[in-house]
Structure 1
Amino acid sequence: MTHATEDVLARLGVAVPEILLPAAAVDPTKWAVIACDQHTSEPDYWHRVAGIVADAPSTLRMIFPEVYLNDGDADSRIERIQQTMHDYLSTGVFRAPLQSMVLTHRSTPHVARRRGLLVALDLDRYDYRPGARALIRASEATIVDRLPPRVRVRSGAPLELPHVLVLIDDPDDSLFCGLDHASLPELYSAELMLDGGTVSGYQLGPDEQAHVARSLDALHSGGARETSFLFAVGDGNHSLATAKQVWEQTKRSLTGDTSGHPGRYALVELVNVYDPGLRFEPIHRHVRSAISDLDAWIAALAQAMDATVRECGADQMMEDIHDNPTTIGFVARNRQGVFVLHNEQQLAVTALQEALDQIDGIDVDYIHGSETATALGRDQGVALLLPAFDERLLFTTVANDGVLPRKAFSLGEAEEKRYYFEARRVF
């Protein structure tokens, strides 16, 4: 890769990562496991993962599944994680390091292909705070209280394993259309456990990496440079925020130029927000608290959202949510209907979350799938069903409003989340 390409990438907060992949003798299906922040209320899922992995080398031994965060054994678990990383580095579990971007193809039970590109992003160019003007920004609110256990895992760990998906706004598909996997060396191809589909990785050469630099530079040049940003974190906001915090702590002990320090960067997968294989799914709300006066509660919520309430049948409710992005459905026992926002410029998820945040003492759960949410609302409390999130609004909303509320959308179903496969040294 030429110095000119390196300079362009550096200006855009991007570097070519040094990738670690499992050795040929490692079973890739047992090696790759789903992101640690998935199935957090399903310990049985993680028990099944452990059963599949058994004694084989696996990324399972290098992550802290969040389902176990409150088990009381965090210190010993983190010690085992970091020791496993050292052991794998010294016993031939990994191949020799590879300095390259990697094109990824992922299939799932829901989509034939989702394209991604593994790169390293400069944490000095990233800011997760609301209203940040950085080149790399969070797409949704970061809950700082969730960071300490993640920081403890990353602090002192020699490796990072990425599950962060970072989005680019590329309606013409200029980046990925210039990367032909058929002409690239295949690095790996694996079946993913528990309905995860498949994943393949392809090594980019100097010409392809120069194309990446040109494409990203053109995308960034398309906006007003003082307000535009290039990257929005779609999945893994808290993981990237953790990397940022650890880097800020590390940086305080360093002197001189830090551009070559591996801890300054984080390994992420870039995905085009318009990729046909990337599905934006709404995350519904279920108010589990007992509501003594449902009519008064619904009226108060409508007032807080500046919305009109209309009761209707279940089929009509779902049709309205599908057809109108400013409509929010509700289900409470044998009643259902819709809230219709008066402000057609406001995102439904923003209006709803801001209104719920104003209500003291309610217990809100975040639900994937309209059928699940509806069933919960029939049983107790109130289910609030959101319309699909329009991916075309993501970058303009973050640019204009700072960040989206927490749980604004999900990138596909749980089994479509990123599986750990690649690693990178950070210390």
Structure 2
Amino acid sequence: MNKTSCFSPAHILLPAENIPLEQWGCVACDQFTSDRSYWEKAARTAAGSPSTLNLVLPEVYLEESGVTGRIQKIHETMDDYLRTVLTRAVDGFIYVERTEQSGRIRQGLVGKIDLEAYSYAEGAQPEVRPSEHTVESRIPPRMAVRRGASLETPHVMMLADDPDCTLIEPIGAKKDALRKVYEGELMLGGGHIAGWAVEDPALLAQIDTALQGLGRQEVFDARYPQARGAAPLTLAVGDGNHSLASAKAYWEELKQTLPPEQQADHPARWCLAEVCNVHSPAIEIEPIHRVLFNVDCGAVLLALIAWSDSHNAGICFGDARQQSFTLAGPHVANVLSFEHPVAPLTVGTIDAFIEYFMARHIEARVDYVHDEPAVRALCKQGGVAFLLPPFDKSDLFKGVVMGGVLPRKTFSMGHAEEKRYYIECRKIKE
């Protein structure tokens, strides 16, 4: 096994078999951030049983007093679970099948990402990259949880650009020969999930070979001829961008205190994550639309035309040009397009205009909404929306390769209940 692989087998900890999965698993902490009732229901569901809910800090509570006390309790619970709850382990990967609301099955592999092969620094070209711009102000609260934590539990989902299905699907084809380590329903509409241990050395070698193949220079050059010769991209972050960034920031901080021999194999150098194939039919990538509030639709349209003229972006009515979108207000909706866009993807060109507009209209507010019916409802209430076109999966990797990162909040992977649930754990303290 290549020890320097960017994604490798891990010592993965699981709760005792008698602990109900529906109480143990909990949705990613950055979901339902405006819906306190969801987290109150989650607490009632988990009550009386060990739960990963007790190992994370839901972001809905970040603005409250008592956060420091919450984090201290999280750390104490981690130490307790390590001793009394996490009694099973997998040495390798876990192959995961998650049944979504649509009935489609999302396949994934849980293992550990080498944080030395990843960077969120602007302009960096490591093997593992964020797909979206990292907002550094979102890192400190998560760092506070990770600093002093004995455990991690992942909601990071990585994506591989694997059109030939070499990495994950061959493991799924052999699942009947693997040891099933969990199966059940996830709380509050999260759907069904099952996981199998992948520990056979031949399968581990097969995964590593596939991963090395995805990161080969000639494969990269053939797929992205416009970027020929640039550093290859093996994995991109699909979900959990700021969680992976926080793990990296903590590792960089900790690394300064360690001698070189400890830096090479300290457990905090890695971060547990699930890798999925972006080409899987179960991976739905939807655009996140932009909605402006406290503005007049006509004024936005006039400003857009003026901005386009000053940037030679070539705005026009209709979808005949390169980048088309719908500008929708309370009473009217128009399809517009740019002939000479200022960014590789439509969302980047729109965001450049919104930044310009917001700087000149301090009363305006912007929100990011990924559900089109919800956007249309906001327009009826006075919002002015930029409805973005369907997101082409190949645009995700192309956007990262050509543009460095995609603009913040470019896409969403599935509905909130379909985000990754915390199940697996890994020790990050020596």
With structure 1 as the length reference, what TM-score do the two structures score? Answer: 0.91
The alpha carbon displacement at 1:15 in A equals 2.5
Deviations for 1:89-125, whole angstroms, at most 9, x for unmatched residues? 122x112332111110001112420000011111011
2:410 to 396, 408, 411: 408
Confirm or deny: 8 A CA contact 1:302 1:339 kept in the other structure.
no
The count of residues paired between Structure 1 and Structure 2 equals 409
Which piece of structure 1 moves more, 324-333 or 351-360? 324-333
The alpha carbon displacement at 1:176 in A equals 2.1
Confirm or deny: 8 A CA contact 2:158 2:275 kept in the other structure.
yes
> For residue 264 of structure 2, what is the amino acid of its counterpart?
S
Q: Distance in 2 between matches of 1:305 and 1:265?
A: 45
**2:100 is aligned with 1:108:** yes
Structural mapping, 1:199-348, within 5 Å:
199-204=193-198, 205-221=200-216, 222-224=219-221, 226-257=230-261, 258-291=263-296, 294=299, 295-300=301-306, 302-303=308-309, 306-310=313-317, 326-343=323-340, 346-348=344-346
DSSP 3-state at the match of 1:127: coil
Q: Distance in 2 between matches of 1:90 and 1:51?
A: 24
The alpha carbon displacement at 1:275 in A equals 0.9
Gaps of 5+ in 1: 1-5, 312-319
Q: Distance in 2 between matches of 1:363 and 1:226?
A: 38
Cα separation, partners in 2 of 1:148 and 1:79, compared to 1, 3 Å: same
Q: Distance in 1 between matches of 2:7 and 2:163?
A: 21
> For residue 67 of structure 1, what is the amino acid of its counterpart?
V
The alpha carbon displacement at 1:392 in A equals 0.8
1:145 to 137, 150, 155: 137
DSSP 3-state at the match of 1:246: helix
**2:5 is aligned with 1:12:** yes
The alpha carbon displacement at 1:164 in A equals 0.4
1:41 paired residue number: 34
Which piece of structure 1 moves more, 377-386 or 57-66? 377-386
Cα separation, partners in 2 of 1:383 and 1:81, compared to 1, 3 Å: same
DSSP 3-state at the match of 1:19: strand
**2:24 is aligned with 1:22:** no
Two-structure CA RMSD over aligned residues (Å): 1.9
The alpha carbon displacement at 1:140 in A equals 0.6
Q: Distance in 1 between matches of 2:15 and 2:42?
A: 18
Q: Distance in 2 between matches of 1:183 and 1:58?
A: 29
* Percent identity (aligned): 37
1:31 paired residue number: 24
Confirm or deny: 8 A CA contact 1:167 1:271 kept in the other structure.
yes
1:167 paired residue number: 159
Q: Distance in 1 between matches of 2:425 and 2:207?
A: 21
> For residue 346 of structure 1, what is the amino acid of its counterpart?
P
> For residue 243 of structure 2, what is the amino acid of its counterpart?
S
Cα separation, partners in 2 of 1:325 and 1:240, compared to 1, 3 Å: farther
Confirm or deny: 8 A CA contact 1:63 1:81 kept in the other structure.
yes
DSSP 3-state at the match of 1:146: helix
**2:47 is aligned with 1:78:** no
Confirm or deny: 8 A CA contact 2:150 2:427 kept in the other structure.
yes
The alpha carbon displacement at 1:183 in A equals 1.9
1:395 to 394, 397, 407: 397
The alpha carbon displacement at 1:324 in A equals 8.4
Cα separation, partners in 2 of 1:118 and 1:325, compared to 1, 3 Å: farther
Q: Distance in 1 between matches of 2:245 and 2:334?
A: 38
Gaps of 5+ in 2: 222-228
2:226 paired residue number: none
Q: Distance in 2 between matches of 1:125 and 1:155?
A: 21
Q: Distance in 2 between matches of 1:144 and 1:229?
A: 22
Confirm or deny: 8 A CA contact 1:30 1:57 kept in the other structure.
yes
Q: Distance in 2 between matches of 1:307 and 1:373?
A: 26
DSSP 3-state at the match of 1:101: strand
Cα separation, partners in 2 of 1:307 and 1:81, compared to 1, 3 Å: farther
Q: After TM superposition, which residue ranges in structure 1, 4 or more long, deviate above 4 angstroms?
A: 301-305
Confirm or deny: 8 A CA contact 1:131 1:401 kept in the other structure.
no
